[in-house]
Structure formats: C-alpha cells, structure tokens
Amino acid sequence: MLSRSIAITFYCLCILSMPCFAGSDIIEIKSNGKLFKVHDFFKDAGATTDKYGTCTLRSNDRYFISYFKEGKFVISISGMSNLDRNRKEAEHDFLSLLQVTKEQACKINPDVFFPAMHGKSGGPSFRLSFCPGSKSSPTDL
C-alpha cells in the first residue's frame, strides 16, 4: 500500500506539478505563493489542461475559470451585459469547484477580469465581490 501511495504522490508531483493526498479528492495547490487544500478540480469532467499546464476548470459563454501552473487562478467575465449576474455565478462556481468557503476563496485570491470593460475599469483585475476590499463591477465605476 505504501508503494501505491508513493506512486500516486509521484504522479501528482511530476504530471500535475503539485502534491496530492493519496486516496482522496483533495490536492494542495499554490496560489499567490501560499499553499491551499482544495477539491481536486483536475478530476472534474469539464476540466481540461493545455500543453502549457493551464487548467480550464469551467468555460461557457458567460465566464471561464482557469488555474495557471505558476500558481494563479483567473476568472474572466465575458460580454457586456449581465456582468454582475455573470460575476456572481462565476464566483459561486469557483467556490463549488474548489469546495472552499468564501473566506478561503478570499485567501486564494483569484484575479477577476472583465475583458470587454477593460478600458472603462481603470485596471484589469478585480477581487471576488464578497472579499474585503473588493471593488464594485466596472459598470459601477
């Protein structure tokens, strides 16, 4: 059993570039230089990883959620309409995919982007709407 555990950990370290916990659906990921234990989103049916190691957890016409192997989550809100609704839906999806609380998500601190509103927002990145210090959506600026 120990050799199986070592093999699984080796697989996660070498293939996924991050440690995991043998026999569980919990992995340890790096975000903003800190380690967090989250649900293994790599195993989710909709998750895809490209040749550069970027994992797309969710992608639809309203938003996409990605994890970059360098240790950063990005939530990109699409389009010009229903931005607040799409943002809240994406944030809820982020919590569900990682199986974390709002407090934990704030510590993970993904970047939230509104590409269509970039010029008007005055800056490319926002925080999750429920985190302390979060800016309102770019439509309110």
Q: List the domain boundaries for the chain.
A: 41-140
Predicted confidence (pLDDT) per residue in 104-129, tens digit = 999 999 999 887 665 554 346 889 99
- In the predicted structure, residue 14 carries a pLDDT above the cut 80: no
- What share of the chain has pLDDT > 90, as a percent? 48
When pLDDT is averaged across residues 88-98 and rounded to a whole number, the result is 96
Between the two ends of the chain, the Cα-to-Cα distance in Å is 57
Q: Which two tokens stand for residue 42?
A: 């790599």
Contact partners, residue 108, CB within 8 Å, separation at least 6 = 31, 32, 36, 38, 73, 98, 100
The burial class, CB within 10 Å (0-12 / 13-18 / 19+), for 141 is exposed
pTM: 0.77
At residue 80, the pLDDT reads: 74
Q: Which two tokens stand for residue 35?
A: 């380690």
Helix residue spans in the chain (DSSP H): 2-15, 83-98, 102-108, 118-121
Q: For residue 27, which of 99, 104, 109, 110 has the smallest C-alpha distance? A: 99
Residue 117 DSSP one-character state: G
Longest dimension (CA), the chain: 57
pLDDT band at 137 (very low <50, low <70, confident <90, very high): low
Mean pLDDT of the chain: 78
Residue 75 DSSP one-character state: E
- In the predicted structure, residue 100 carries a pLDDT above the cut 90: yes
When pLDDT is averaged across residues 27-46 and rounded to a whole number, the result is 89
pLDDT band at 79 (very low <50, low <70, confident <90, very high): confident
